[in-house]
């Protein structure tokens, strides 16, 4: 009998399993293994601090973000007083799983199939990877951390089968030498309808490799061709391709994260990817920690309502950031003309400073009311067309 079975061994599931194991609970971490999620791999300083990420997991340290508009206009934003860390998900996720196991969680490799219940408890059924046999783990609580199209969410939680998502695709390539098109300390974010009509493309350094990709909700978009076009536009078409990956990225947190009984969701399964930026690693790990807190509370008190702590704790800290980023995506991602204005707005020093202060610390900056007022006026001016899109 396990206290908790965590389904999914990405950053969210591994974090939940580690937290619960360290607090003395009997935990199983069920992961199908072998899957690498397409991801730019950016992690902010707060994640490094909060989750004690060792420096050897940071494959690159980014000091500049370059925004590129549909017309090819480039705005470089320096990251002052710090850096954005880059991780390779192939190694980072396994590091987190190993750390959970070192804390005491049992690692089990297999594919989740379903949940059943009887007088003995809740049973998580899975197909064992090594033998192909159908097996089950008995527990008191299940944490579903099995991705954007979560099978746990789909069958166990209200609304879990209707979560909107972007299809993301990227190619990991051998990184070229530093030059006119590529800088190993700079992330490029491309806002261009020819690459993505409703999201963006990216070129993110990973040390000896780089991630080049894009995302879109538009089903007719050929993500592989769009990425090939992005590589040509970025002068990276001749770089050797190491691997190709695609997966859905959720766009909105679910209204319910638990089933009012014995299941609670975390990470992509709960929809916690930031709008506009698509950032997910920090929010996945924060969501995993919230799910672990809720599960531990329910195990201690026996109160089903404690499962709702997962969403309450997460949204208490992050809902305003999600609201602002969602409004920004709705305002600026609808057309190339709007995207051009967005990149123009990024040239503003107040926008740059407040954006990266918020990104680095994962909270809206409240200490500079005049700067917020100025940004609000500039934002309104761009949206209403009072200033030209190309004005600096």
Token pair belonging to 334: 């609808």
Residue range 2-39+88-163+252-317 in CATH 3.50.50.60: yes
Q: Please tell me the distance from the alpha carbon of residue 175 to that of residue 127, in angstroms, as a whole number.
A: 38
Q: Please tell me the distance from the alpha carbon of residue 335 to that of residue 187, in angstroms, as a whole number.
A: 23
Range of lowest pLDDT (40-49, 109-118, 185-194): 40-49
177-190 average pLDDT score: 93
Q: Please tell me the distance from the alpha carbon of residue 207 to that of residue 337, in angstroms, as a whole number.
A: 34
Q: Which residues contact 335 (CB under 8 A, 6 or more apart)?
A: 193
Assign a CATH topology to domain 58-86+164-250.
D-Amino Acid Oxidase; Chain A, domain 2 (3.30.9)
85-93 average pLDDT score: 93
At residue 379, does pLDDT exceed 50?
A: no
Q: Please tell me the distance from the alpha carbon of residue 297 to that of residue 289, in angstroms, as a whole number.
A: 12
CA 211 to chain centre: 15
Reported as a single tens digit per residue, the pLDDT across 3-16 is 999 999 999 999 99
Q: Is the dihedral of CA 9, 48, 329, 193 positive or negative?
A: negative
pLDDT confidence band for 353 (50 / 70 / 90): low
Q: Are 39 and 171 in contact (CB under 8 A)?
A: no
Q: Are 5 and 83 in contact (CB under 8 A)?
A: no
Interhelix angle 336-346/369-383, nearest 10 degrees: 150
The ranges assigned to domains in the chain are 2-39+88-163+252-317, 58-86+164-250, 322-384
Run of H or E residues at 15: helix 11-22
Reported as a single tens digit per residue, the pLDDT across 278-287 is 888 999 999 9
Task: Provide the whole-model pTM.
Answer: 0.89
Nearest Cα neighbor of 112 from 26, 35, 18 is 35
């Amino acid at each position: 009998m396990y206290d908790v079975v965590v389904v999914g061994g990405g950053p969210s599931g591994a974090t939940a399993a580690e937290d619960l194991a360290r607090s003395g609970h009997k935990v199983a971490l069920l992961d199908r293994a072998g899957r690498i999620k397409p991801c730019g791999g950016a992690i902010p300083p707060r994640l490094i601090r909060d989750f004690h990420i060792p420096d050897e997991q940071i494959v690159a340290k980014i000091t500049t973000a370059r925004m590129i508009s549909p017309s090819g206009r480039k705005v470089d934003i320096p990251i002052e007083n710090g850096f954005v860390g880059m991780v390779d998900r192939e190694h980072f996720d396994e590091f987190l799983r190993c750390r959970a196991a070192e804390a005491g969680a049992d690692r089990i490799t297999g594919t989740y199939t379903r949940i059943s219940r009887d007088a003995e408890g809740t049973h998580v059924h899975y197909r064992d990877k090594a033998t192909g046999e159908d097996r089950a783990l008995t527990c008191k609580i299940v944490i579903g951390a099995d991705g954007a199209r979560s099978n746990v969410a789909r069958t166990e939680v209200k609304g879990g089968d209707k979560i909107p998502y972007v299809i993301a695709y990227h190619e990991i390539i051998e990184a070229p030498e530093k030059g006119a098109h590529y800088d190993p300390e700079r992330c490029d974010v491309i806002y261009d309808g020819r690459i993505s009509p409703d999201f963006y493309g990216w070129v993110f350094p990973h040390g000896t490799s780089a991630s080049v990709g894009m995302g879109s909700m538009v089903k007719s978009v050929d993500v592989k061709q769009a990425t090939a076009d992005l590589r040509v536009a970025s002068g990276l078409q001749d770089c050797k391709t190491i691997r190709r990956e695609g997966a859905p990225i959720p766009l909105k947190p679910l209204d319910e994260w638990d089933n009012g009984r014995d299941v609670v969701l975390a990470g992509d399964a709960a929809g916690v990817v930031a709008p506009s930026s698509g950032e997910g690693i920090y929010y996945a790990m924060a969501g995993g920690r919230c799910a672990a807190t809720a599960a531990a509370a329910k195990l201690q008190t026996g109160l089903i309502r404690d499962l709702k702590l997962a969403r309450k704790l997460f949204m208490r800290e992050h809902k305003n950031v999600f609201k602002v980023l969602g409004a920004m995506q709705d305002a600026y991602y609808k057309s190339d003309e709007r995207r051009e204005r967005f990149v123009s707005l990024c040239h503003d020093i107040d926008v740059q400073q407040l954006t990266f202060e918020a990104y680095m610390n994962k909270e809206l900056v409240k200490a500079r009311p005049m700067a917020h007022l100025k940004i609000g006026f500039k934002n309104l001016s761009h949206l209403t067309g009072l200033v030209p899109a190309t004005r600096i």
